[in-house]
Amino acid sequence: MPSPKSQEASGQTRGININIRAQRNQRDLIDQAAEILGKTRSDFMLETACREAEDVLLDQRVFVLGAEKFATFQALLDAPPADNPRLRALLATTAPWET
């Protein structure tokens, strides 16, 4: 049996309303995107908002290191990147949409 959290995320159980106001052009844009994905406006907005919320929360990671390990970590971050000829070649390539 799916957990209540997965039921909520999939739209099987909804008990709380979230109301927002939008401009007509914003609503139309959302509707257009939802239609392309075969979703309702509500499902599209809820899934998109949850995905963005997860990204924000995942960006809030804390590193707890002792002074010595933090100095090593900081030195690695400050060091110039290792030479990578394949990456340099990729970055020098013109993107297909730029030709």
DSSP 8-59: HHHTS-----------HHHHHHHHHHHHHTT--HHHHHHHHHHHHHHHHHHT
The answer for residues whose C-beta is within 8 angstroms of residue 31's C-beta and 6 or more apart is 41
CB 30 within 8 A of CB 45: yes
The confidence band for 5, taking pLDDT boundaries of 50, 70 and 90, is low
Assign 10 a pLDDT band (cuts: 50, 70, 90). Answer: low
pLDDT at 9 over 90: no
Is-contact 8 14, C-beta < 8 A? yes
pTM: 0.51
Residue 4 has pLDDT above 60, yes or no: no
Question: Buried (b) or exposed (e) across 65-96, using 16+ Cβ within 10 A?
Answer: eeeeeeeeeeeeeeeeeeeeeeeeeeeeeeee
Which of 93 and 4 is assigned the larger pLDDT? 93
Query: pLDDT tens, 42-78?
Result: 999 999 999 999 999 988 877 788 999 999 999 999 9
